[in-house]
Amino acid sequence: MKIAVVSSGFAHVLRGVEAWASDLAVALAELWKGEQRAKVALLCGSAPKIPVSAETISLPCLRRGTRANSAVTRALSPFGGWRFGFGSEYQTEQTTLAPAVVNRLAGGGYDIVHLQDPWLAWLLEKARRKGRHRARVILAHGTDEPVEFLGRFRWLQELSPHYAARHSGRQVFMIPNFVDTCMFRPAVSFGEKASLRRSWGLSEQGFVLGSVGAIRVSRKRMDLLIRRFEEFRSFLPAALLLIAGSRTEETEAVERQAACSGAVRVFCDMPRERMPEFYRVLDGFALFAESELFGICFLEAMACGVPCVAQSNPVTEWIAGNAGICVDSENSDAVAAALRQVADPRTAETLGRRGRERAESMFSTKKVLEQIVSMYEQVLASV
């Protein structure tokens, strides 16, 4: 069995899609270390800035954020560019990476290609049908695509029961994202947490709330989070909010709002290797995104024993279970009540312990990797 995990934005874009690809490739490489019957490679559009413990192959493309990509996208998108792969910088990146991926799949003898980039997945699926490579394409749906588009794929992975239920009458693999519960773990003592806080320039005492996600107003609603946090500070004036995530075209607006608060700090494009300690300095975690296909950040917080407050929807309610508090974030009173619960040490300890247990029992690398390998075997066995 030879698997290609593909991510067009790996190493130059910091999002859940790219983190998923890296984590999956590394986990499979570790699982199959020393075995000849199974191998994995990570195919991507950038060379990694730090070593990755899996075979990584950088392929040419017009990367998001570059002048070349921007020029091509600006020139073609007004003329229906989205129809043929140039409607946005992300789509242009996927389109220009596809030929190199097809050639690598054809020449490398890959059996399966597994990815979350939707347009690239469709280009690879079309190439497979034309006989240009033989790798079976599995789209792990993490970008909120319409059901009609997803119906183009024979092999589809949904990340939660809510989204899997939309596909009546066809086989869909329901396999969630996973979290490395050894890397993402609670602070082992108050001393470790205090030391980490000092290294981050934070007070050892005081309530610290955190949030992780693309730093934007639309979808992630970081502006709403800051407003709700400011309302909560009438109850706990010394509270601090830390936001970590990738920079977007909307980040400056969030930074201005944070500056006006005086109690909000924004960390843009933080290296992923620093994220475990980011969670360990927190007392609570909150994110009020409109919708989430999954939300790896909730798993990371839960694995670190950090109690979560989230926007109420079927996905976050399933992830959190009895280990978090889901609310209507438009209801300021409900959010304030939830944050007060998280700020209570006894409640926080209970929720944090439940979150850690849930992360280990349902979303750990070992648990989910077993399901992924089983999916690969079923896909290869299908006619």
Tens of pLDDT, residue by residue over 108-144, are: 999 999 999 999 999 999 999 999 999 999 999 988 8
- State residue 36's pLDDT score: 83
What is the tens place of the pLDDT at every residue in 175-209?
Answer: 999 999 999 999 989 899 999 999 999 988 899 99
Give dist(CA 135, CA 4) in Å, integer. 9
| Beta pairing partners, 215 | 247
The structure tokens listed for 41 are 């490679």
Sign of CA dihedral 207, 213, 217, 220: negative
Count Cα atoms within 13 angstroms, Cβ side, for 33.
6
- Token output for 16: 């859940």
The model's pTM is 0.90
Residues 13 and 104 in one domain: yes
**Is residue 295 in some structural domain?**
yes
Q: Which two tokens stand for residue 60?
A: 């040419």
Q: What is the pLDDT of residue 186?
A: 96
Instruction: Check residue 37 and give its pLDDT.
Output: 84
**Averaged over 213-222, what is the pLDDT?**
89
pLDDT digits (tens, 9 = 90+) for 72-105: 999 998 988 888 999 999 999 999 999 999 999 9
Dihedral, CA of residue 303, residue 296, residue 11 and residue 273, to nearest 10: -20
Residue 229 CA: distances (Å) to CA of 1, 17, 91, 301, 347: 49, 28, 35, 18, 19
Amino acid at 126: K
Tell me, yes or no, whether 215 and 136 share the same domain: no
Would residue 76 count as lying in a domain?
Answer: yes
Label residue 190 exposed, middle or buried (CB < 10 Å: 0-12, 13-18, 19+). exposed
* CA nearest neighbour of 280 among 183, 346, 160: 183
260, 233 Cβ separation under 8 angstroms: no
Q: What is the CATH number of the domain that holds 349?
A: 3.40.50.2000
Query: Residue 161: inside a domain, yes or no?
Result: yes
Which of the two residues, 290 and 341, has the higher pLDDT score? Answer: 341
CB count within 10 Å of CB 355 equals 28
Task: Identify whether residues 275 and 161 lie together within a single domain.
Answer: no
Looking at the structure, tell me whether residues 79 and 224 fall in a common domain.
Answer: no
| pLDDT value of position 219 | 84
Examine the domain organization and report whether 40 and 111 are in the same domain. yes
Please check the confidence at residue 26 and state whether its pLDDT lies above 80. Answer: yes
With cut-offs at 50, 70 and 90, classify the pLDDT of residue 164: very high
Structurally, how many domains does the chain consist of? 2
Query: Does residue 185 lie within any of the structural domains?
Result: no
Confidence of residue 272 (pLDDT cuts 50, 70, 90): confident
**Position 184 in a domain:** no
User: In degrees, to the nearest 5, what angle opens at C-alpha 274 toward C-alphas 268 and 280?
Assistant: 105
The SS3 assignment for 70 reads helix
8-state DSSP, 238: T
- Whether 131 is in a domain gets the answer yes
Per DSSP, the three-state class of 311 is strand
User: What is the predicted pLDDT for the residue at 82?
Assistant: 86
Range in 36-50, 102-116, 215-229 with the lowest mean pLDDT: 36-50
Q: Tell me the C-alpha to C-alpha distance, in Å, between residue 257 and each of 201, 233, 260, 268.
A: 21, 15, 5, 15
Q: Which two tokens stand for residue 280?
A: 């360990």
**Band of residue 302 on the pLDDT scale cut at 50, 70, 90:** very high
Which residues neighbour 334 within 8 Å (Cβ) at sequence distance 6 or greater?
Answer: 327, 328
Report the alpha-carbon distance of residue 121 to residue 123 in Å, rounded: 5
Q: Are 144 and 290 part of one and the same domain?
A: no
pLDDT at 33 over 70: yes
Which of 356, 280, 277, 245 lies closest to 19, judged by CA? 245
Which band of pLDDT confidence, cut at 50, 70 and 90, is reported for residue 52?
confident
Same domain, 47 and 125: yes
Query: Quick check: is 156 in a domain?
Result: yes
The answer to whether residues 343 and 375 belong to one domain is no
Same domain as 338, residue 218 = yes
User: Is position 56 within any domain?
Assistant: yes
Q: Where are the alpha helices (DSSP H) in 138-182?
A: 147-150, 161-164
Instruction: Find the length of the chain.
Output: 383
Residues 98, 162, single domain; the answer is yes
Q: Are 63 and 45 in contact (CB under 8 A)?
A: yes
* Domain shared by 144 and 210, yes or no: no
The answer to whether residue 264 scores a pLDDT higher than 90 is yes
Q: What band does 13 get if pLDDT is binned at 50, 70 and 90?
A: low
The verdict on 141 and 237 lying in the same domain is no
pLDDT at 248: 84
Q: What is the mean pLDDT of residues 140-162?
A: 95
Instruction: Quote helix, strand, coil % in the chain, to nearest 5.
Output: 45, 15, 35
**Residue 46 lies in domain:** 2-178+364-381
